[in-house]
């Protein structure tokens, strides 16, 4: 499953889990983009932060892993390259590429899109606010195997990374929209920092009070 994951949220994780169950996948590989060319001009967090948040979010699931192929490639991220690299690393695997309804809508604008269906089977998942359809692709799928593209309804989670970033920048909670470790990573790295930095600094001070040392004996204090 490819994505910018800025930050990764429970919508991504539910999509991966549902598709894994539906297709009996051995593993779901999350592939954070390196340089998402269709988001050029928009502010995107450093690839290393997005990669680490993805590692944190998936660490507890033995069926999930994270690949650096896109993060380490020193050029714009194209799915055609992602799939070629994953194919080279997994020559005997059946590859599936999981994509949400919104991304599927734009697939004909992707680099070398004609090649994509030769490299992997595609799975399009439902997403609130977007039509899950293949009308725009129908003529391009003729001649392809029936399972070249499958549409899957998943439990609806109206979560987006955009909304998570907005909330974080307004100092509103992202708890339960993203995994707990990702909430903590966003705070630790000051990602999506509010414009009003003073307000954030205040909030950090309040949420991270100095440790209570009143239980430490006076002689111990002298030793520290
Ligand atoms: N809530 C969701 N339900 C189903 N699929 C989703 C959901 N959120 C994202 N996806 C899919 O996950 C993939 C990666 O998405 P991406 O990292 O761009 O997240 P996003 O929430 O769409 O981000 P942004 O709001 O910054 O555009 C895409 O294929 C996208 O369609
Ligand atoms: O290959 C392309 O040209 C292309 C263009 C836009 C998006 N994609 C892929 O679609 C996935 C979701 O992208 P995004 O930007 O919505 O996070 C991710 O794996 C991207 O690399 C791929």
Averaged in consecutive runs of 10 residues, what is the pLDDT profile of the chain (224 residues)? 98 98 98 95 96 98 98 97 98 97 96 94 98 90 90 98 97 97 98 65 36 42 36
> What is the reported pLDDT for 106?
95
> What is the reported pLDDT for 200?
43
Instruction: Report the separation in Å between the CA atom of 100 and the middle of ligand 1, taken as the mean of its atom positions.
Output: 6
> What is the reported pLDDT for 142?
86
The DSSP element (H or E) to which 31 belongs, if any, is strand 28-32
Which of 1, 2, 4 should be mutated for ligand 1, with most atoms under 8 A from CB?
Answer: 4
> Which residues, other chains included, contact 202 with Cβ-Cβ below 8 Å and sequence gap of 6+?
none
> What is the reported pLDDT for 195?
59
Pocket of ligand 2 (CB under 6 A): 2-4, 33, 36, 38-39, 77-80, 103, 110-111
Instruction: Report the separation in Å between the CA atom of 222 and the middle of ligand 1, taken as the mean of its atom positions.
Output: 54
Q: Tell me the whole-structure pTM to 2 decimals.
A: 0.89
Of 28, 33, 94, whose CA–CA distance to 61 is shortest?
A: 28
> What is the reported pLDDT for 214?
42
> What is the reported pLDDT for 141?
85
Is the backbone peptide bond immediately before 7 cis, with ω within 30 degrees of 0?
Answer: yes
Instruction: Report the separation in Å between the CA atom of 94 and the middle of ligand 1, taken as the mean of its atom positions.
Output: 23
User: 102 CB under 6 A from ligand 1?
Assistant: yes
Instruction: Report the separation in Å between the CA atom of 79 and the middle of ligand 2, taken as the mean of its atom positions.
Output: 6
Q: What is the DSSP letter of 106?
A: T
Of 56, 14, 31, whose CA–CA distance to 186 is shortest?
A: 56
> What is the reported pLDDT for 48?
98
> What is the reported pLDDT for 208?
37
For residue 28, which phi and psi values (nearest 5 degrees)?
-110, 125
* ipTM (interface pTM): 0.99
Which of 6, 12, 17, 133 should be mutated for ligand 1, with most atoms under 8 A from CB?
Answer: 12
Domain ranges, ordered by start, for the chain: 2-153
**Nearest atom, ligand 1, residue 162 CA:** 25
- Each residue's pLDDT tens digit, 174-190: 999 999 999 999 999 99
**Nearest atom, ligand 2, residue 39 CA:** 15
At the topology level of CATH, where does 2-153 sit?
A: Rossmann fold (3.40.50)
């Amino acid at each position: 499953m490819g994505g910018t994951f800025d930050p990764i949220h429970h919508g991504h994780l539910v999509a991966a889990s549902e598709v894994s169950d539906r297709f009996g996948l051995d593993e779901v590989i999350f592939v954070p983009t390196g340089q998402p060319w269709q988001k050029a001009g928009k502010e995107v967090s450093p690839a290393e932060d997005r990669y680490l948040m993805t590692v944190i979010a998936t660490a507890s699931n033995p069926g999930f892993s994270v690949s650096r192929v896109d993060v380490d490639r020193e050029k714009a991220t194209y799915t055609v390259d992602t799939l070629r690299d994953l194919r080279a690393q997994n020559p005997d695997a059946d590859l599936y590429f999981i994509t949400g309804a919104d991304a599927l809508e734009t697939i004909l604008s992707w680099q070398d899109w004609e090649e994509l269906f030769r490299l992997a089977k595609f799975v399009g998942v439902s997403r609130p606010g977007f039509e899950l359809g293949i009308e725009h692709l129908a003529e391009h799928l003729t001649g392809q195997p029936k399972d070249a593209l499958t549409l899957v309804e998943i439990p609806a989670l109206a979560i987006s990374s955009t909304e998570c970033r907005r909330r974080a920048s307004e100092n509103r909670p992202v708890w339960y929209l993203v995994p707990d470790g990702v909430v903590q990573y966003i705070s630790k790295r000051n990602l999506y920092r509010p414009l009003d930095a003073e307000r954030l600094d205040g909030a950090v001070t309040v949420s991270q009070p100095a440790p209570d040392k009143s239980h430490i004996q006076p002689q111990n204090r002298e030793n520290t």
